[in-house]
Chains A and B, each alone.
Chain A
Amino acid sequence: MRAPSSDAIVAGDTLLAVEAVSLRFGGVRALTDVSFDIRKGEIRAIIGPNGAGKTSMLNCINGFYHPTEGRITFKGVTRPKMRPYEAARGGIARTFQNVALFKGMTTLDNIMTGRALKMRRGFFWQLLRHGPAMNEEVAHRKAVEEIIDFLQIQHIRKTPVGKLPYGLQKRVELGRALAMEPELLLLDEPMAGMNLEEKEDMSRFILDVNNQFGTTIALIEHDIGVVMDLSDRVVVLEYGRKIADGTPAEVKTDKAVIDAYLGVAH
């Protein structure tokens, strides 16, 4: 097990640093003294058995929960109480374990909501048929169309997402997160409940996002095969504590991980 020490990492390389974070809900300890970092441009996986605190960790990173102790530094700035919208503005986007889209809206509109933070013109301009608000709308639509093209969901552009199969909904959700042009993308079980083919598609999209846009990605995933293939580095949690951190190869051979997560005969 290797704890990240600040001198081993070049300062500019660390996009996000989690330092000694603990999170308690009353008597329940969701996270205990967890530290790790996410480097710019990498795919970082967070794995662990059920209830290990993975989603709590993501919630802390994007400001939905506030750590009871410890601190989180994003782009060199430490905020003791960052709110989700501040995180979003700062360049952190996420998808959810259970798809959280607007079911009655089309794919296009759902992804368009991801641009909401980037809309500059106010209500007055929006009322006009022409002018800056219209130009802005066109520019955003173009960005959204590029995402639709990228994720190959042209055929469901005008379909209400509630009618879509689960795998496609997940893809639309990724699209909405991408529409924010995030620096850090948090994916909470992007492949949960998918079949093999859908998983392969999603893996390819995640790699393409990372490769083409240079987006840093932190993801939670249960499918250990996917994690090993996708990620550059893996952090392993168990009962709210970090038990391992390293490359997939290192983690795979780590005794504590094998015992805790991959399972051994007890």
Chain B
Amino acid sequence: MAAAANGFADTFPKLLLQNAASRGGRPAMRLKDLGIWQTWSWAEALDEVRAFSLGLQALGLRQHEKIAIVGRNRPRLYWAMCAAQALGAVPVPVYADSVADEMAYVLEHAEARFAMAQDQEQVDKLLSIADRLPNLALTIYDEPRGLRDYDPARLKSFEDVQAQGRAVLAGAPDIGEAWEQAIGRGTGRDLAVILYTSGTTGRPKGVMLSFDNVIRSARNGNAFDRLDETEDVVAYLPLAWVGDHIFSYAQSFTAGFCVNCPESEATVTDDRREIAPTFFFAPPRVFETLLTMIMVRMEDAGVLKRKMFNAFIAHARRWGEKMLNGESVPPSARMLYWLGEFLVYGPLKNRLGMTRLKVGYTAGEAIGPEIFRFYRSLGINLKQLYGQTEASVYVTAQPDGEIRAETVGRPSPEVEIMIAESGEVLYRSPGVFLGYYKEPDKTAETKTEDGWVHSGDAGFLDATGHLRIIDRAKDVGKLASGALFAPKYIENKLKFYPTIKEAVAIGQDRDFVTVMVNIDLVAVGSWAERNAIVYASYQELAGHRLVYDMIAEHVDEVNRSLSEEPMMAGGQIQRFLVLHKELDADDGELTRTQKVRRGFIAERYAPLVEALYAGAEVCDITTEVTFEDGRKGAISARVAIRDSKTYPPTTEAAAARMMEHAA
């Protein structure tokens, strides 16, 4: 094991050799298959990766060539990344739910020679774009189901490739040695992976990260949260997303902990409960969904259970966070909390799969303070971090004991932060990316010569040295009156209500702010059921008078809270409507990471926007929709528009203070 002897391994294949030698018997990977958790130790993982890697080599994958990784979290897809890296080739993970056209762009741009696809669905997509991809020589698939009658010329199974690799190894045992020596020649400066950012505007960009970027970031993350080989994580977020790459790949390889792949997308919640991960990451949306699910279930529960739940949750809200932060709490409250732990919090955490959780992170979007506090009050160490693909995730993170809902924490280890004149956040760290693949001009726009990266987010460091993010720098605009207009800030406040799934705020250069709201079908549907409201479709429910009344209340509360924040008081919502259709990534209204594309939506629903500002009470609109299989259809609707009340700003002094901070 030449590479392992080098001590401080600086590439993933070296780490794999090292882990197989030093903790070969410990679990590296689990997959729930046929209802049972199948486990692979580090030694077994090495065996799988080696066979596949030699197979790839025999099939002609060479140094610097790209292999696209298309699918959901499966051990073999992770192994394929490492197998390619062992040959000096570069994995390019692709979002599994991207439509064929988006996939074609990424594979074409990356000049992928090989593709590792999860199943028939992905193979079909790849085949449908084959004529646009002259470089693509071979597609390898993991799950054979439904692929029996496909043309085998450009299609091979994972097992076939491994068999080929094993045959090579059996024929000439020194090949294995040569393979390890080649790994030993790799260095941390080499390109490790290209991650295409989903991009709220324009085509995705390929972020090139070196082994040093990813591995140092991962090691810092491990040290910051004291993660070791005993951790368990559940891998369920897209492989192409930098978060999954760091949490489920890089941090697992560096700390040596086990990555658990769920059985299917639909079973994640159950599988998480079975595994009870110790380290967990989720975008706010997941925490919101879980909370909504709990609340909906509690509404349906018996009277006794509901009363007990409400009473103990109220107690936890009052004392739980203080106990978690190590503040002093009266013994009686502590006693009652322990009782609550036994009766309510414990079973609830078990249900959420958070019983063993050491640290949980949320990032990507702002999380509702209420939601954030709910989880923390149960004794779950949920924290926020601020990260970007270009930084190999970590820019800032909240250290234990310094948790507040409105900040994203202090600079992570080895990260420097600077706030530009414009309010934009800049950072510099060992995790900072090499550049955008084949786009030097865009790299130059984002990354200065001395290594500072423009985050594109506006924010400020508060008195305690914590970073606070207001919005995307380019999205922070002005109303016609000159008042500050921060659309995401307003949208997030609305989205904190479980009944509101998405919101789109409009107001740039306009006289006032208006919003378009998407209701959450689960929460509103259950509310409708309880209130005996009959509806036949999403559209009908969205347009219901009582739903409008409920949303109007939420908007009113948001206005009230905005009026208390002097910087934002001018941006109160004057008119709103509830959209007749769910915003959908297939229609281009959301990005693949489920962020709203404001400009596109304003264009698409132009008649509605016009009506919002023309003072109309209703507006007719016909919208084209794309179904899952790519076919198009149209839905038309009559959408009602309502006015809402605004409030005068509360304190002038507070306004001045806030302005100072932001400037």
Q: Which residue of A lies closest to B149 (CB)?
A: A211
Q: Residue A250 at the B interface, CB < 8 A?
A: no
Measured in the bound complex, the distance between the Cα atoms of B33 and A141 in whole Å is: 13
The residues of B that contact A154 with a CB separation of less than 8 Å are 35, 263-264, 266-267
State which residues 610-637 of B face A: CB under 8 Å: 627-629
State which residues 120-166 of B face A: CB under 8 Å: 145-146, 148-149
Q: Residue B300 at the A interface, CB < 8 A?
A: no
Q: Interface 1/0s, chain A 128-157, versus B by CB < 8 A? A: 000000000000011001101110101101
Measured in the bound complex, the distance between the Cα atoms of B146 and A170 in whole Å is: 21
The residues of B that contact A212 with a CB separation of less than 8 Å are 145-146, 148
Q: Residue A200 at the B interface, CB < 8 A?
A: yes
Q: Which residue of B lies closest to A146 (CB)?
A: B34
Q: Interface 1/0s, chain A 26-61, versus B by CB < 8 A? A: 000000000000000000000000000000000000
Measured in the bound complex, the distance between the Cα atoms of B628 and A152 in whole Å is: 18
- Given A208-B145, A208-B146, A212-B148, A157 and B629 touching (CB < 8 A)? no
Q: Residue A197 at the B interface, CB < 8 A?
A: yes
Q: Which residue of B lies closest to A155 (CB)?
A: B266
| Residue of A154, A157, A200 with highest tally of chain B CB at under 10 A | A154
The residues of B that contact A197 with a CB separation of less than 8 Å are 627-628
Closest CB-CB distance, B296 to chain A, in whole Å? Answer: 14
Do the beta carbons of A148 and B264 come within 8 Å of each other?
no
Q: Residue B299 at the A interface, CB < 8 A?
A: no
Measured in the bound complex, the distance between the Cα atoms of B146 and A149 in whole Å is: 13
Measured in the bound complex, the distance between the Cα atoms of B273 and A155 in whole Å is: 13
The residues of B that contact A211 with a CB separation of less than 8 Å are 146, 148-149
The residues of A that contact B629 with a CB separation of less than 8 Å are 200
Measured in the bound complex, the distance between the Cα atoms of B629 and A197 in whole Å is: 9
State which residues 428-479 of B face A: CB under 8 Å: none
Q: Which residue of B lies closest to A207 (CB)?
A: B146
Q: Residue B270 at the A interface, CB < 8 A?
A: yes
Measured in the bound complex, the distance between the Cα atoms of B149 and A208 in whole Å is: 11
- Given A145-B35, A157-B35, A197-B628, A150 and B266 touching (CB < 8 A)? no
Closest CB-CB distance, A56 to chain B, in whole Å? Answer: 34
| Residue of B33, B35, B267, B627 with highest tally of chain A CB at under 10 A | B35
Measured in the bound complex, the distance between the Cα atoms of B34 and A146 in whole Å is: 6
Closest CB-CB distance, B14 to chain A, in whole Å? Answer: 36
Q: Interface 1/0s, chain B 21-58, versus A by CB < 8 A? A: 00000000000011110000000000000000000000
State which residues 250-309 of B face A: CB under 8 Å: 263-264, 266-267, 270
- Given A154-B267, A155-B264, A197-B628, A148 and B35 touching (CB < 8 A)? yes
Q: Which residue of A lies closest to B264 (CB)?
A: A154
Measured in the bound complex, the distance between the Cα atoms of B146 and A158 in whole Å is: 26
Do the beta carbons of B264 and A152 come within 8 Å of each other?
yes
State which residues 189-234 of A face B: CB under 8 Å: 197, 200, 204, 208, 211-212
The residues of B that contact A149 with a CB separation of less than 8 Å are 33-34
Measured in the bound complex, the distance between the Cα atoms of B629 and A150 in whole Å is: 21
The residues of B that contact A158 with a CB separation of less than 8 Å are 270
Do the beta carbons of A145 and B34 come within 8 Å of each other?
yes
Closest CB-CB distance, B368 to chain A, in whole Å? Answer: 27
Closest CB-CB distance, B262 to chain A, in whole Å? Answer: 9
Measured in the bound complex, the distance between the Cα atoms of B33 and A142 in whole Å is: 11
The residues of A that contact B628 with a CB separation of less than 8 Å are 197
Do the beta carbons of B146 and A155 come within 8 Å of each other?
no
Measured in the bound complex, the distance between the Cα atoms of B147 and A211 in whole Å is: 10
The residues of A that contact B627 with a CB separation of less than 8 Å are 197
Measured in the bound complex, the distance between the Cα atoms of B36 and A125 in whole Å is: 25
The residues of B that contact A200 with a CB separation of less than 8 Å are 629
Measured in the bound complex, the distance between the Cα atoms of B266 and A158 in whole Å is: 13
Do the beta carbons of A155 and B34 come within 8 Å of each other?
no
Q: Which residue of A lies closest to B269 (CB)?
A: A155
The residues of A that contact B148 with a CB separation of less than 8 Å are 211-212
Measured in the bound complex, the distance between the Cα atoms of B270 and A158 in whole Å is: 10
Q: Which residue of B lies closest to A142 (CB)?
A: B34
Measured in the bound complex, the distance between the Cα atoms of B264 and A148 in whole Å is: 12
The residues of B that contact A152 with a CB separation of less than 8 Å are 264
Measured in the bound complex, the distance between the Cα atoms of B629 and A200 in whole Å is: 10
Measured in the bound complex, the distance between the Cα atoms of B148 and A152 in whole Å is: 18
Measured in the bound complex, the distance between the Cα atoms of B273 and A158 in whole Å is: 14
Do the beta carbons of B270 and A150 come within 8 Å of each other?
no
Q: Which residue of A lies closest to B34 (CB)?
A: A145
Closest CB-CB distance, A121 to chain B, in whole Å? Answer: 22
The residues of B that contact A204 with a CB separation of less than 8 Å are 146
Measured in the bound complex, the distance between the Cα atoms of B35 and A45 in whole Å is: 34
Q: Interface 1/0s, chain A 149-175, versus B by CB < 8 A? A: 110101101100000000000000000
The residues of B that contact A145 with a CB separation of less than 8 Å are 34-36
Do the beta carbons of B270 and A155 come within 8 Å of each other?
yes
The residues of B that contact A142 with a CB separation of less than 8 Å are 34
Measured in the bound complex, the distance between the Cα atoms of B149 and A149 in whole Å is: 20
Closest CB-CB distance, A155 to chain B, in whole Å? Answer: 4
The residues of B that contact A141 with a CB separation of less than 8 Å are 35
The residues of A that contact B266 with a CB separation of less than 8 Å are 154-155
Closest CB-CB distance, B301 to chain A, in whole Å? Answer: 16
Measured in the bound complex, the distance between the Cα atoms of B629 and A1 in whole Å is: 37
Measured in the bound complex, the distance between the Cα atoms of B266 and A149 in whole Å is: 12
The residues of B that contact A146 with a CB separation of less than 8 Å are 34
Measured in the bound complex, the distance between the Cα atoms of B121 and A208 in whole Å is: 14
Measured in the bound complex, the distance between the Cα atoms of B194 and A87 in whole Å is: 58
The residues of A that contact B36 with a CB separation of less than 8 Å are 145
Q: Which residue of A lies closest to B262 (CB)?
A: A154
- Given A145-B34, A200-B629, A150 and B267 touching (CB < 8 A)? no
The residues of A that contact B145 with a CB separation of less than 8 Å are 150, 208, 212
Measured in the bound complex, the distance between the Cα atoms of B145 and A154 in whole Å is: 16
Q: Which residue of A lies closest to B631 (CB)?
A: A196
Measured in the bound complex, the distance between the Cα atoms of B150 and A211 in whole Å is: 12
The residues of A that contact B35 with a CB separation of less than 8 Å are 141, 145, 148, 154, 157
Closest CB-CB distance, A159 to chain B, in whole Å? Answer: 10
Measured in the bound complex, the distance between the Cα atoms of B526 and A141 in whole Å is: 36
Measured in the bound complex, the distance between the Cα atoms of B266 and A141 in whole Å is: 21
Closest CB-CB distance, A63 to chain B, in whole Å? Answer: 33
Cross-chain contact of A155 among B33, B149, B267 (Cβ < 8 A)? B267
Measured in the bound complex, the distance between the Cα atoms of B149 and A42 in whole Å is: 16
Closest CB-CB distance, A256 to chain B, in whole Å? Answer: 33
State which residues 102-145 of A face B: CB under 8 Å: 141-142, 145
Beyond the given A154-B35, A155-B264, A155-B270, could you list 16 further A-B residue pairs with CB under 8 A, ordered by the A residue number?
A141-B35, A142-B34, A148-B34, A149-B34, A150-B145, A152-B264, A154-B264, A154-B267, A155-B266, A197-B627, A197-B628, A204-B146, A208-B146, A211-B148, A212-B145, A212-B146
13 A-B residue contacts at CB 8 Å?
A141-B35, A142-B34, A148-B34, A152-B264, A154-B35, A154-B263, A154-B264, A155-B267, A157-B35, A197-B628, A208-B146, A211-B146, A211-B149
The 5 A-B pairs of least Cβ separation, nearest first, read A155-B266, A145-B34, A155-B267, A154-B263, A145-B35
